[in-house]
């Protein structure tokens, strides 16, 4: 049984859900023509299955919060691709998936962005890091004993921030620092590290400092669980300076 809309969103304005996409029992018939076309374009069978599972899972949770059949939801995209729901613009949400793990943030309190990445997938790439991290963030990554992991942990915060803004990975990112630390306030946005499966890093960004992000008790539903976590200790948002 799922959470009722009044319970789940009255208690907390941002709910974060997490699931493993492999092995979900999915009804692909609720996907739109556009989603099926995108699924067909995926490079391999496993990627296709994960794409379909993620869309089904997101539709099921959003449909439940809204009291709408999951298949009736109509997604639209903003200028840089951030999805929103036609007719339900006051409910913001954001999906992320990496190597079979997926997370979904649902907010009644303004824009949210979420990102998760599997650790250990890639070697540290300094040139790639410079394209998104500020000078301050670069220094901390370079000083770390495990630069690949430090970069990825910085990266998920920066990407969650970019996804909350809906701007995509644009050229302004190196001018902004969103950490490190469990929580940072930057240009009116808040960025926090959130718990992820072992071997993954995850971060959440949101606009309203007054919202209650912590969720709980854990709820198991639709093959996923709602996370329970603390908002963390505030840390300073260091002024970003482009990496040199
Ligand atoms: C948003 C972005 C950072 C996501 O990167 P990623 O690591 O591949 O993906 P994640 O798994 O974390 O998130 C993917 C989900 O984010 C959502 N998303 C897509 N674009 C988004 C955006 N601009 N902002 C926030 N969320 C977005 C979608 O729900 C997507 O899920 P889907 O693939 O099932 O549709 C990347 O796609 C991007 O930079 N997009 C912008 C592209 C752009 O600038 N286009 C120019 C105009 S068309």
pTM: predicted TM-score of the whole model, two decimal places: 0.88
pLDDT at 73: 96
Say whether pLDDT at 15 is over 90: no
- Residue 242, domain member (yes or no): no
pLDDT at 129: 95
CATH number of the domain bearing residue 96: 3.90.470.20
Is 96 touching ligand 1 by the criterion CB < 6 Å?
yes
How confident is the prediction for the chain on average, in pLDDT?
82
The better pLDDT of the pair 184, 170 is held by 170
- Residue 108, domain member (yes or no): yes
Say whether pLDDT at 11 is over 50: no
Q: What is the mean pLDDT of residues 179-204?
A: 78
Q: In what order do the strands lie in the sheet with 14-20?
A: 92-98, 101-107, 14-20, 224-226, 219-221
Domain that holds residue 17: 12-226
Q: What is the mean pLDDT of residues 38-63?
A: 95
Is 10 touching ligand 1 by the criterion CB < 6 Å?
no
- Residue 244, domain member (yes or no): no
Confidence of residue 14 (pLDDT cuts 50, 70, 90): confident
pLDDT at 240: 44
The better pLDDT of the pair 244, 42 is held by 42
Percent of the chain with pLDDT over 90: 52
Say whether pLDDT at 156 is over 50: yes
Q: What is the mean pLDDT of residues 118-133?
A: 93
Is 162 touching ligand 1 by the criterion CB < 6 Å?
yes
Q: What is the mean pLDDT of residues 122-146?
A: 93
pLDDT at 122: 85
Number of domains forming the structure of the chain:
1
Question: Is residue 204 within 8 Å of 194, Cβ to Cβ?
Answer: yes
- Residue 236, domain member (yes or no): no
Is 80 touching ligand 1 by the criterion CB < 6 Å?
yes
- Residue 3, domain member (yes or no): no
Ligand 1 centre distance from Cα of residue 239 (Å): 26
Give, in order, the Cα–Cα distances in Å from 60 to each of 57, 92, 101, 175.
Answer: 5, 15, 17, 37
- Residue 2, domain member (yes or no): no
- Residue 159, domain member (yes or no): yes
Ligand 1 centre distance from Cα of residue 169 (Å): 9
Report residue 120: phi and psi, to 5°. Answer: 80, 5
Is 81 touching ligand 1 by the criterion CB < 6 Å?
yes
- Residue 134, domain member (yes or no): yes
Say whether pLDDT at 6 is over 60: no
């Amino acid at each position: 049984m799922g959470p009722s809309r009044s319970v789940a969103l009255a208690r907390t304005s941002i709910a974060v859900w997490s699931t493993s996409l492999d092995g979900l029992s999915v009804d692909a018939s609720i996907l739109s023509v556009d989603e099926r076309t995108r699924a067909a374009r995926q490079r391999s069978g496993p990627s296709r299955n994960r794409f379909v599972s993620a869309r089904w899972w997101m539709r099921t949770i959003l449909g439940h919060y809204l009291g709408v059949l999951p298949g009736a939801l109509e997604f639209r995209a903003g200028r840089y691709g951030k999805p929103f729901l036609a007719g339900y613009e006051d409910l913001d949400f954001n999906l992320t998936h990496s190597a079979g793990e997926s997370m979904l943030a649902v907010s009644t309190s303004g824009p949210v962005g979420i990102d998760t990445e599997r650790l250990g997938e890639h070697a540290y790439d300094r040139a790639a890091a410079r394209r998104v991290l500020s000078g301050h963030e670069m220094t901390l990554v370079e000083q770390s004993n495990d630069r690949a992991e430090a970069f990825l942990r910085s990266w998920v915060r920066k990407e969650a921030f970019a996804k909350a803004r809906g701007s995509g990975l644009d050229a302004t990112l190196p001018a902004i620092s969103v950490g490190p630390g469990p929580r940072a306030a930057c240009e009116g946005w808040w960025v926090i590290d959130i718990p992820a499966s072992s071997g993954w890093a995850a971060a959440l960004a949101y606009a309203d400092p007054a919202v209650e992000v912590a969720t709980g008790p854990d709820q198991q539903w639709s093959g996923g669980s709602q996370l329970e976590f603390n908002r963390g200790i505030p840390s300073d948002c260091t002024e970003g300076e482009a990496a040199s």
